[in-house]
Amino acid sequence: MSAARPNGWVPCQLHEVALNLRERAKPQNYPDLPFVGMDKVEPHSMQISGTVPAGEMKSSAVHFLPGDILYGRLRPYLNKVAEAPYEGLASAEFIALTAPYGVVSSFIRYRLHSAEFVAFASNLDTGDRPRVDFDQIGGFGLLLPPAPEQRRITSVLDSYFTRLGAAEQALERVQANLKRYRASVLKAAVEGRLVPTEAELARREGREYEPAEALLERILVERRKRWEEAELDKMRAKGKEPKGEKWKAKYKEPARPDLSELPELPDGWCWATWEQVGFSQNGRAFPSKEYQETGVKLLRPGNLQPDGSVSWDQQNTRRLPQQWERRHPSYVVGPRALVVNLTAQSLADEFLGRACMTGAAEHCLLNQRIARLTPVLLNGRYVLWVLKSPLFRQFVASLNTGSLIQHMFTSQLANFTMPIPPLAEQQRIEREVERLVSFAAHVELVLDHKGPSLQMLRQSILKWAFEGKLADQDPNDEPASVLLERIRAERAAEKPMARRGRRRKGGRS
């Protein structure tokens, strides 16, 4: 059963209370007026966020006057709506609606923002580029309140939406602050300012400790040992048994970093290039034509998440027959492996160079455009946080080629110079970073739920408003039926005059 109609309200259709009168215009005829593009209307606040001089535009536009309602009719801008505070021109993909005398423009603006109207318009498509026209949306049915009540409703809605907008801006500020907070935590971590250094603790406790320089020497010895083991495996896989030690001379000792322009590190720390402390392996190009529902998972860039985790879902999971794992066992990625994305569309979303660590039960194949990084004797989680820090982001940005597709290579990654603390300090840094970052992630998760909640609250408020439950009703108000009859009579009187006049040029928007 439908809700009872509020006293004094009358059913009508949108075309009766929002007129499509504005004509197309050539921007060069109005060079000094502001021009509103479709991307300049904010979807939730219904505000115009910016303009350019109309003289800069070439294509046809729609001319609007103060108080007109601009309604976006073209996907993906469909259902964007704003009330014009000035005269100007707008994209021809806006419909400019004018409220007749006695109808409050802001009431129409809010009505077009309601979930009921959005659902109605979203089901209307025409043409190759899905859009709606005035004849379609004009058939939307609504209840029209008396004019004084329209003003009371819009006044209350303005108050609520202003406060909701302020809350949304506060959420955005907190989210931006959280991003800066994470960056500052990681910056402090790689600069030795997050936890007491091992040198400080050793002095305080009167004990010895292994400084990073000594750790690095152990790493270099271990690195060569692992290289020799890998070379032996390769030769034996080919049926060859090395004779003598000459083959070991092929080992290339990694170059030490140039310290002349690097900042000073805390006591007990040292600088090292990635090539000194780890190995890199590029992924392999596996055939997409062999993707199937079952089989071994294929690790691709879409599996790498901003928080450093690797995730699998129905959309981003691809699988290959098990034969690919048997043929290429060296590309199998197991638990707690470091991986880095080597390709991205741009640097904007920090996707290029995105570092992640696989989960405790991971088993997948390493696809092209991803590298596996294997640190030698270092704490893997510490290395992950270095690769998530502003230090590494600056390194990635320095590789920008200016091309549309951004790439980085393991040969470049080899030159990344990273700070190495003593091993015990790496573990303390890892634990403290994860404690602080987990707290930030929890707060962000709460905030992520607040954004949709605010939009739901907006729609609930609009629903109450258009059911007559938001503003006070006054029995002395002139009924909307009288207003609507007056509008209909005025429009009927205008039609004969319009037929006798000249045909308009350009048509309706």
Distance CA 277, CA 271 (A): 10
**CATH tag for 10-146+474-500 (out of 1.10.3720.10, 3.30.365.10, 3.90.220.20, 3.10.20.600):** 3.90.220.20
Given this model, what pLDDT does residue 347 score?
66
Distance CA 25, CA 106 (A): 25
Given this model, what pLDDT does residue 404 score?
61
Q: Is the distance from CB of 92 to CB of 447 less than 8 angstroms?
A: no
Helix residue ranges per DSSP H, 278-403: 322-327, 380-388, 390-397
Q: Choose among 218, 215, 212, 279: nearest CA to 251.
A: 279
Q: What is the mean pLDDT of each run of 10 residues along the chain (509 residues)?
A: 79 95 90 92 86 89 94 86 94 93 95 93 71 91 95 94 85 82 92 94 95 97 94 86 87 91 94 96 94 95 93 94 95 96 80 94 95 97 96 90 77 95 96 89 74 84 92 92 93 66 38
Given this model, what pLDDT does residue 491 score?
87
Given this model, what pLDDT does residue 303 score?
95
Given this model, what pLDDT does residue 165 score?
85
Q: Indicate where the chain has its CATH 3.90.220.20 domain(s).
A: 10-146+474-500, 210-421
Distance CA 21, CA 24 (A): 10
Given this model, what pLDDT does residue 205 score?
95
Q: Which CATH class is domain 210-421?
A: alpha beta
Given this model, what pLDDT does residue 503 score?
41
Q: Choose among 283, 293, 307: nearest CA to 365.
A: 283
Q: Is the distance from CB of 36 to CB of 88 less than 8 angstroms?
A: yes
Q: Choose among 390, 370, 488, 339: nearest CA to 17.
A: 488
Given this model, what pLDDT does residue 477 score?
94
Task: Give the N- to C-terminal CA distance of the chain in Å, as an integer.
Answer: 38
Q: E strand or H helix at 192, and its extent? A: none
Helices H, strands E: what count in the chain?
14, 22
Bond into 254 cis (ω within 30): no
Strand partners, 358: none
Q: Is the distance from CB of 322 to CB of 296 less than 8 angstroms?
A: yes
